[in-house]
Amino acid sequence: MLEVAALTAGYGGNPVLHRISLRVEAGQSVCLIGANGAGKTTLLRCLAGLIRPSSGSIRIEGKDITAVAASERLGFGVALVPEGRRVFAPMSVRENLEMGAFRRLWPRRDRAVAADMDMVFALFPRLAERHRHAAGLLSGGEQQMLAIGRALMSRPRLLLLDEPSMGLAPRVVQDIFATIRRLNNEGMSILLAEQNANMALRSAGWGYVLAEGEIVRDAESGSLARDQVVRASYLGL
């Protein structure tokens, strides 16, 4: 599904990611764990086309998308749920969801957009109840649901999630992760970046550990969770 090879990227000529290689198989759920500042967000932004790598390649379903613009990557089945949700605060819940389907709204509205919105409302009934509310007035958990729903409106086959647990109460985090597992069980490939390594390793099948911009370990999630170094460094055990 996703194949990243020797990806190097950074800001203003200062590399943050050093020759990153990783894979997500079709239907797999993979997590990326690492401390604050390890480079998780930078990597997901590269995959979404928001940062241009200085070298290396990104392939989706065998196609090289390294040079493809962010807006075009949705067409390759990749959607990002950004860190901090980034919902459009003054716009309604419904309008935010429509923005996720913007490629199909112009020049002519795709009829399936309404059906996709119903699918999002079925997944998150709370959003259906609040569909006329301004997104900025929602709770943190509801905004996270909206950010996920907005990404789903582009019908991704690979969903990239950046710190979905950030700033949320434990119970809300449980609900969000249950939804992510449900999407994966229905066949969607997932790449999840999390500082909450406990939750991430419990939810994903495979994990990568990122430290100072390098992949330092990768293994089946259960075995990473038992790894002494991972337990001491990331699980606080």
Query: Where does this chain bind ligand ATP (CB under 6 A)?
Result: 11, 16, 34, 36-42, 83, 195
Residue placing its CB nearer to ligand ATP in the complex, 44 or 153: 44
Q: Any long-range contacts for 59-62 (C-beta under 8 Å, 24+ apart)?
A: 59/2, 59/3, 59/4, 59/5, 60/1, 60/2, 60/158, 61/1, 61/26, 61/157
Residue placing its CB nearer to ligand ATP in the complex, 92 or 233: 233
Tokens of 92: 């309604």
Residue placing its CB nearer to ligand ATP in the complex, 17 or 24: 17
Neighbours of 36 (CB within 10 A): 6
Smallest gap, in angstroms, from Cβ of residue 61 to ligand ATP? 25
Tokens of 150: 């907005």
Smallest gap, in angstroms, from Cβ of residue 95 to ligand ATP? 27
Name residue 100's beta-bridge partners: none
- In sequence order, which residues have a C-beta less than 8 Å from that of residue 180 and are 6 or more positions away? 29, 148, 159, 161, 164, 190, 192, 203
Residue placing its CB nearer to ligand ATP in the complex, 80 or 117: 80
Residue placing its CB nearer to ligand ATP in the complex, 9 or 117: 9
Smallest gap, in angstroms, from Cβ of residue 54 to ligand ATP? 14
Smallest gap, in angstroms, from Cβ of residue 174 to ligand ATP? 20
Residue placing its CB nearer to ligand ATP in the complex, 10 or 27: 10
> What is the SS3 assignment for 5?
strand
Smallest gap, in angstroms, from Cβ of residue 140 to ligand ATP? 16
d(C-alpha 15, C-alpha 17), whole Å = 6
- Alpha helix (H) ranges present in the chain? 40-47, 70-73, 93-100, 102-105, 112-123, 125-129, 140-152, 170-185, 197-203, 221-226, 228-234
Smallest gap, in angstroms, from Cβ of residue 38 to ligand ATP? 4
| DSSP secondary structure code for residue 92 in this structure | B
